[in-house]
């Protein structure tokens, strides 16, 4: 009985640890790298920054980009169209950034569609998060 209990507990601990690792930015970066068929080291912070700053013209003729809500400085709080505050995107300022895969994927899919009119590729997600987890605002 003791051994069984130990095995169950051990199993839970391993599950808990891998679950934790998969939930951090590193786990997500590894996931996108696997999807893209490239190593994590191939992600580019420079390309991620360019995506963040890229400007497009909306159907209404306005200049829009990720910065429209997240501001041009990822160390500063952003603002939704409805005026709600968004925590800064840089992990250095908001350590909880990119630690919840369900949240990260939900917003990538919503915001990429909104701004680019298409889904972001796994490479773009990796680049974007590589920049924001490294930038020192
Ligand atoms: C219309 C406003 C708006 C625009 C434009 C926008 N975002 Fe966001 N974004 C939000 C909001 C609101 C949240 C969720 C609130 C939060 O995370 O604090 C969010 C969260 C995110 C997250 C989740 C971060 C995490 O902690 O996991 C990612 C990733 C993201 N946005 C990427 C982008 C990218 C990439 C672009 C440009 C292609 C973009 N956003 C443009 C409003 C916007």
Domain annotation for the chain: domains and CATH numbers: 2-134 (1.10.760.10)
Which pLDDT score, from 0 to 100, does residue 24 have? 82
**Whose C-alpha lies nearest to ligand 1, atom 37?**
66
Residue 130, ligand 1, Cβ within 6 A: no
Tell me if the pTM is above 0.85. yes
Q: Which two tokens stand for residue 112?
A: 């990429």
Q: What is the pLDDT of residue 132?
A: 98
108 lines ligand 1 (CB under 6 A): yes
Q: Return the H-helix or E-strand segment holding 19.
A: helix 2-23
**Structure-token match 């003729």, residue found:** 61
C-beta separation of 70 from 58 below 8 A: no
Reported as a single tens digit per residue, the pLDDT across 5-62 is 666 665 555 554 544 455 689 999 999 999 999 999 999 999 999 999 999 998 899 9
Give the tokens for residue 88: 């800064």
3-class DSSP state for residue 46?
Answer: helix
Mutate to test the pocket of ligand 1, among 47, 50, 69 (most ligand atoms within 8 A of CB): 69
Q: Which residue's alpha carbon is nearest to atom 23 within ligand 1? A: 104
Q: Write phi, then psi, for 55 (nearest 5 degrees).
A: -110, 135
Share of the chain above pLDDT 90, in %: 80
Q: How far is the CA of 70 from the centre of ligand 1 (A)?
A: 7
- Is the CB of residue 36 below 6 angstroms from any atom belonging to ligand 1? no
- Write out pLDDT tens, residues 110-134: 999 999 999 999 999 999 999 999 9
Task: For residue 95, report the distance from its CA to the centre of ligand 1, in Å.
Answer: 15
- SS3 (DSSP) at 124: helix
Tell the residue nearest (CA) to atom 19 of ligand 1.
107
Q: How high is the mean pLDDT of the chain?
A: 90
Between residues 8 and 103, the one the model is more confident about: 103
């Amino acid at each position: 009985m003791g051994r069984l209990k130990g095995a169950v507990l051990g199993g839970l601990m391993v599950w808990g640890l891998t679950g934790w690792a998969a939930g951090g930015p590193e786990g997500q970066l590894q996931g996108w790298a696997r999807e893209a068929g490239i190593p994590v080291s191939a992600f580019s912070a420079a390309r991620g920054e360019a995506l963040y700053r890229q400007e497009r013209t909306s159907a209404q003729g306005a200049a829009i980009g990720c910065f429209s809500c997240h501001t041009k400085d990822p160390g500063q709080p952003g603002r939704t169209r409805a005026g709600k505050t968004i925590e800064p995107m840089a992990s250095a300022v908001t350590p909880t950034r990119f630690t919840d895969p369900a949240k990260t994927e939900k917003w990538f899919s919503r915001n990429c569609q909104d701004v680019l009119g298409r889904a972001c590729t796994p490479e773009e997600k990796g680049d974007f998060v590589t920049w924001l987890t490294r930038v020192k605002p």
